[in-house]
Chain A
Amino acid sequence: MYALTCKNLSLSYPNEPHPAVKDVSFAVFEGEFVTFIGPSGCGKTSILKMIAGLEKPTSGELSAPPDISFVFQFGALFPWLTVFENTALGLRSKRIPEAEIQKIVSRELSLMHIEHFRDRYPAELSGGQKQRVGIARALAVEPKMLLLDEPFSALDPITTAELHRDLMQLWHEKKITIVMVSHSIEEAVGLADRVILMNTGVIKRVFPVNLPHPRHEQGAAFMHEVNQVRHAFFTEI
């Protein structure tokens, strides 16, 4: 069963000579983890924005579930709200009773190991902690699909590895569909069921990854997959 289908999707921005996305078609299964990779400006974030409803496709068809949540590149936390209030943002918009909000937010903050930061402001957090709040905020609304826009690109390798592990755990527990955008081939191969390589607004190649998790422990098999994608990245782009 598909969670998301895109048919001949195109997006042009005003005053831009070339379309950001050109005639792209793909589908994502329920519970699947798909990662888009490609160079800057290749259209991968534009696809994410169209799925989220933040940008309207210029042409094509898009069918996505209504309950979509988003994790932004630098967290996009509201600096004037505490960790708790940032996480509760989507729940408050849904007018969920306060007692329920308290319960859900506490649960999500615990899952992301940041319960003890609940009264802090984003300026008092490290990059990794901010991103954990961003993920907790996205998961608090209990989405069917989670979109992640280069969520780990600004973090150090150790924090990134910790967040990869936590994200994998959440994905297995919550069984949600994940579409992520990444710059890192290793990250894409390490996490996703399928890696979609993009350039100049079109899909160039699709790589299914059939290795068991945790993949970094797969040694040679993992590196073989990474090298395959890397080879395509440098020959086709």
Chain B
Amino acid sequence: MRYNDRMRTGKHHAHHNHHVAMSYPVSLPSRLYALVLGPLAMVGLIALATYFYPIISTQGTTLTFPVIVEAAMATCFRLAVAYILAALVAIPLSLFVTINSTIEAIFLPIFDVLESVPILVLFPVLVVLFVSTGFLNGAAIAILFLTMLWSIVFTLVGGIKIIPKDIMYAGKIFGLSGFALVRKVILPAIVPQFVTGSILALAQGWNIIIVAEVLHTYLPGGTSAQDLFGIGAILVSASAEAQTNVFLMAVFVMVVIIAFFNFFVWQKLLHFAQRFRFE
């Protein structure tokens, strides 16, 4: 009996509530959760199995669940540093390029070209550069920074360009100019774009992490000992050495971290950013 029929026939009693709930049609989000959480739970079980049966990798590292979580934290740290740097550069860059139509006409095409250069082309140069200084993390952070930068810049430029003219005029009429206009009008107005740009940037960061931490590929005669300690490097070496359970455990940890940030940070920020949206 469908829920509506139950309501009509008056059989909707308190003690029947759980039966009523069972008869609800499964909504699309519930199906999506089942599709995501089901496989995730299976991967999690395999990952837990690995926790009890640690793998000795070729470099003699014992890869246990805590080690993989530690690697994931190291990766998150690199992503966070690169993201903060990208955001700090992207905000003034997007404000600068939209100052007036002349600056926009000169610089926006340059940004377009720079963005279209495949980031991995620059990676060998960056790796050699940073290896010579001994700052290996710098190579990964630099490549992540460049990957994230343009995502944030272009979403912010789009956001600045759609600020209604009357809003800018209102700012000026009510005494705002220069830095005050930027701080009190432009920056709040681009909060929604900043959040979506950040989500895109970090997604691209996670995408490139499997390359950014595997430095040895770009060094002449390099070995995996030169790779950075991180979840990206573990994924690559586990895949190369056919250690399926390590690979799955690393994927599981990565998915959990990404899902955690999605649910508890980005979804919340997206909701918060609604307040800054123009109707």
Contacts and interface: CB of A to CB of B under 8 A. Distances in A.
Interface of A: 49, 52-54, 68-70, 72-74, 76-80, 89-90, 93-94, 121-123, 137, 141
A54 B191 contact: no
A67 B75 CA distance: 56
A137 B172 contact: no
Interface in B225-279: 275-279
A69 B185 CA distance: 18
Contacts of B188: 78, 80
Contacts of B175: 89-90, 93-94
Contacts of A94: 175
Interface string B171-204: 0111110001000010010010000000000000
Chain B interface residue number, banded: 10 to 19
Contacts of A52: 169, 173
Given A78-B188, A79-B277, A121-B275, A72 B170 contact: yes
Contacts of A69: 173
Given A79-B276, A80-B191, A90 B166 contact: no
Contacts of B176: 89, 93
B167 A76 contact: yes
Contacts of A80: 188, 191, 275-276
Contacts of B166: 72-74, 76
Contacts of A121: 275
A151 to B, nearest CB: 12
Contact of A79 (B173, B174, B279): B279
A54 B169 contact: yes
A54 B164 CA distance: 14
Contact of B180 (A53, A74, A93, A137): A93
B167 A78 contact: yes
16 contacts: A52-B173, A53-B172, A54-B169, A68-B173, A70-B173, A72-B166, A73-B166, A76-B164, A76-B167, A78-B167, A78-B185, A79-B279, A89-B170, A89-B175, A90-B173, A141-B174
Contacts of A68: 173
A72 B169 contact: yes
Interface in B42-98: none
Interface in B115-162: none
A179 to B, nearest CB: 14
A69 B188 CA distance: 23
A137 B191 contact: no
Contacts of A49: 169
Of residues B175, B188, B276, which shows the largest number of chain A Cβ atoms within 10 Å of its Cβ?
A: B175
A44 to B, nearest CB: 15
A111 B144 CA distance: 55
A54 B173 contact: yes
Contacts of A90: 173-175
A89 B184 CA distance: 10
B170 A76 contact: yes
Contacts of B191: 80
Contacts of A89: 170, 174-176
Nearest to A49: B169
Contacts of B277: 79
Nearest to B101: A14
A78 B170 CA distance: 9
Q: Which 5 A-B pairs have the closest CB atoms?
A: A93-B175, A90-B174, A76-B166, A76-B170, A89-B174
A74 B188 CA distance: 19
B275 A70 contact: no
Nearest to A123: B279
Given A79-B276, A80-B188, A123-B279, 17 more contacts: A52-B173, A70-B169, A70-B173, A74-B166, A76-B167, A76-B169, A76-B170, A78-B170, A78-B188, A80-B191, A80-B275, A89-B175, A89-B176, A93-B174, A93-B175, A93-B180, A121-B275
A123 B277 CA distance: 9
Contacts of A54: 169, 172-173
A79 B275 contact: yes
Nearest to B275: A80
Contact of B170 (A53, A70, A141): A70
A57 B174 CA distance: 21
Of residues B170, B175, B188, B276, which shows the largest number of chain A Cβ atoms within 10 Å of its Cβ?
A: B170
A69 to B, nearest CB: 7
Of residues B164, B172, B173, B278, which shows the largest number of chain A Cβ atoms within 10 Å of its Cβ?
A: B173
Contacts of B185: 78
B275 A123 contact: yes
Nearest to B277: A79
Of residues B167, B174, B180, B275, which shows the largest number of chain A Cβ atoms within 10 Å of its Cβ?
A: B174
Contact of B278 (A70, A73, A79): A79
